[in-house]
Chains A and B, each alone.
Chain A
Amino acid sequence: MIKVKINGQEQSWDGDPDLPLLWFLRDEAGLTGTKFGCGQALCGACTVIVDKEAVRACITSINDVAGREITTIEGLHPNGDHPVQKAWRQVNVPQCGFCQAGQIMQAAALLMDNPKPSHDQIREAMSGNICRCGCYQRIENAVHLASTGV
Chain B
Amino acid sequence: MNFIDNPKKLRGFEKNIKVEKVSRRSILKGLGITGGFVLAAPVMSRQAFAYETGAGKMPHGVVVDPRVFVAVAPDGTVTILAHRAEMGTGVRTSLPLIVAEEMEADWARVKVEQAHGDEVKFGNQDTDGSRSTRHYLMPMRQIGASARTMLEQAAAKRWGVPATEVKAVNHEVVHSATSRKLGFGELAADAAKEPVPSIEGLKLKDPKDFRYLGKGQIGIVDLHDITTGKARYGADVRLPGMKYAVIARPPVTGGKLVSFDPDAALKVPGVEKVMQVRGWPWPSKFQPLGGVAVIARNTGAAIKGRDALKLTWDDGANGKYDSVAYRKELEEASRKPGLVVRQEGDAEAALKGADKVVVGEYYLPHLAHVSMEPPVAVADVKGDKAEIWAPVQSPGGTREDVAKTLDIPEGNVTVNVTLLGGGFGRKSKCDFALEAALLSKELGVPVKVQWTREDDVRHDFLHTVSVERIEAGLDKSGKVIAWRHRSVAPSIGSTFAADAKHQAPFELGMGLVDMPFEIANISCENPEAAAFTRIGWFRSVSNIPRAFAVQSMVGEIAHATGRDQKETLLALIGSPRIVKPAVKDMWNYGEPLDSYPIDTARLRKVVELVAEKGEWGRQVPKGHGLGIAVHRSFVSYIATIVEVAVDDKGKLTVPRVDTAIDCGTYVNPERIASQIEGAAIMGLSLAKYGEITFKDGKVQQKNFDDFQVLRIDESPAVTNVYIVPPGPDTPPSGVGEPGVPPFAPALMNAIFAATGKRIRSLPLGKQLEA
Interface centre among A43, A95, A138 (most CB of B within 10 A): A95
Segment at the A interface, from B35-43, B164-172, B232-240, B432-440? B232-240
Known: A95-B678, A134-B710. A16 touches B705 (CB 8 A): no
Asked whether B228 lies within 8 Å of A85 as measured between CB atoms, the reply is yes
Asked whether B228 lies within 8 Å of A33 as measured between CB atoms, the reply is yes
Any A CB within 8 A of the CB of B476: no
When C-beta atoms are compared, the residue in chain B nearest to A95 turns out to be B88
One of B228, B682, B716 near A137 (C-beta < 8 A): B716
Any B CB within 8 A of the CB of A117: no
Asked whether B711 lies within 8 Å of A130 as measured between CB atoms, the reply is yes
Any B CB within 8 A of the CB of A6: no
One of A28, A74, A122, A126 near B229 (C-beta < 8 A): A74
Complex: A92 Cα to B227 Cα, angstroms: 10
Known: A16-B270, A92-B223, A137-B716. A28 touches B298 (CB 8 A): yes
Give the Cβ gap from B305 to chain A, nearest Cβ, in Å: 11
Any A CB within 8 A of the CB of B674: yes
Complex: A144 Cα to B711 Cα, angstroms: 18
Q: Please, what's the 1-or-0 string for B652-689, where 1 marks a CB less than 8 Å from any CB in chain A?
A: 00000000000000000010001101111110010000
| Prevailing SS type, chain B contact patch | loop
Asked whether A92 lies within 8 Å of B674 as measured between CB atoms, the reply is yes
Any B CB within 8 A of the CB of A4: no
Considering the complex, which residues of chain A in the window 114-135 have a beta carbon less than 8 Å from any beta carbon of chain B? Answer: 122-124, 126-135
Q: Please, what's the 1-or-0 string for A13-57, where 1 marks a CB less than 8 Å from any CB in chain B?
A: 001101110111011101111111111101101000000000000
Complex: A44 Cα to B693 Cα, angstroms: 25
**Total A-B Cβ pairs within 8 A:** 200
**Which residues on the B side are within 8 Å of A95 (C-beta)?**
88-90, 422, 674-675, 678
Any A CB within 8 A of the CB of B617: no
Asked whether A36 lies within 8 Å of B235 as measured between CB atoms, the reply is yes
Give the Cβ gap from B432 to chain A, nearest Cβ, in Å: 14
Any B CB within 8 A of the CB of A99: yes
Asked whether B422 lies within 8 Å of A80 as measured between CB atoms, the reply is no
Segment at the A interface, from B117-125, B214-222, B283-291, B382-390? B214-222
Any A CB within 8 A of the CB of B420: yes
Complex: A80 Cα to B233 Cα, angstroms: 19
One of A30, A34, A92, A138 near B238 (C-beta < 8 A): A30
Asked whether A15 lies within 8 Å of B303 as measured between CB atoms, the reply is no
Sort chain A's interface into a size bin: 35 or more
Asked whether B226 lies within 8 Å of A134 as measured between CB atoms, the reply is no
Known: A33-B229, A92-B217, A94-B226. A19 touches B715 (CB 8 A): no
**Which residues on the B side are within 8 Å of A43 (C-beta)?**
372, 453, 704
Asked whether B227 lies within 8 Å of A94 as measured between CB atoms, the reply is yes
Complex: A74 Cα to B229 Cα, angstroms: 6
**Which residues on the B side are within 8 Å of A104 (C-beta)?**
227
**Which residues on the B side are within 8 Å of A15 (C-beta)?**
269-270, 297
Sort chain B's interface into a size bin: 35 or more
Known: A36-B235, A130-B372, A134-B679. A85 touches B227 (CB 8 A): yes
Any A CB within 8 A of the CB of B703: yes
Any A CB within 8 A of the CB of B349: no
Complex: A35 Cα to B234 Cα, angstroms: 11
One of A37, A74, A92 near B453 (C-beta < 8 A): A37
Give the Cβ gap from B454 to chain A, nearest Cβ, in Å: 8
**Which residues on the A side are within 8 Å of B682 (C-beta)?**
132, 134
Give the Cβ gap from B218 to chain A, nearest Cβ, in Å: 9
**Which residues on the A side are within 8 Å of B269 (C-beta)?**
15-16
Any B CB within 8 A of the CB of A68: no
Complex: A27 Cα to B304 Cα, angstroms: 15
Known: A37-B373, A92-B219. A27 touches B715 (CB 8 A): no
**Which residues on the A side are within 8 Å of B681 (C-beta)?**
131, 133-134, 136
Known: A23-B300, A132-B709, A134-B681. A37 touches B372 (CB 8 A): yes
Asked whether A137 lies within 8 Å of B229 as measured between CB atoms, the reply is no
Complex: A42 Cα to B675 Cα, angstroms: 24
Any A CB within 8 A of the CB of B526: no
Considering the complex, which residues of chain B in the window 233-261 have a beta carbon less than 8 Å from any beta carbon of chain A? Answer: 233, 235-236, 238, 244
Any A CB within 8 A of the CB of B713: yes
Complex: A138 Cα to B301 Cα, angstroms: 37
Asked whether B712 lies within 8 Å of A139 as measured between CB atoms, the reply is yes
Q: Which 9 A-B pairs have the closest CB atoms?
A: A33-B229, A134-B681, A98-B421, A23-B300, A96-B88, A73-B229, A95-B88, A134-B678, A97-B226
Could you write out 21 A-B pairs with CB less than 8 Å apart? Answer: A16-B268, A19-B300, A26-B299, A32-B236, A33-B230, A35-B235, A35-B421, A37-B372, A40-B705, A43-B704, A85-B228, A89-B227, A94-B220, A94-B223, A94-B227, A96-B373, A97-B88, A100-B226, A132-B709, A134-B678, A136-B710
Interface residues of B (CB under 8 A from A): 86-90, 217, 219-220, 222-224, 226-233, 235-236, 238, 244, 268-270, 297-301, 303-304, 370-374, 419-424, 450, 452-453, 670, 674-675, 677-682, 685, 703-705, 709-713, 715-716, 718-719
Given A19-B270, A27-B238, A98-B371, list of 11 further CB < 8 A pairs? A23-B300, A24-B298, A24-B300, A32-B236, A39-B303, A95-B88, A95-B422, A126-B712, A134-B677, A137-B716, A137-B718
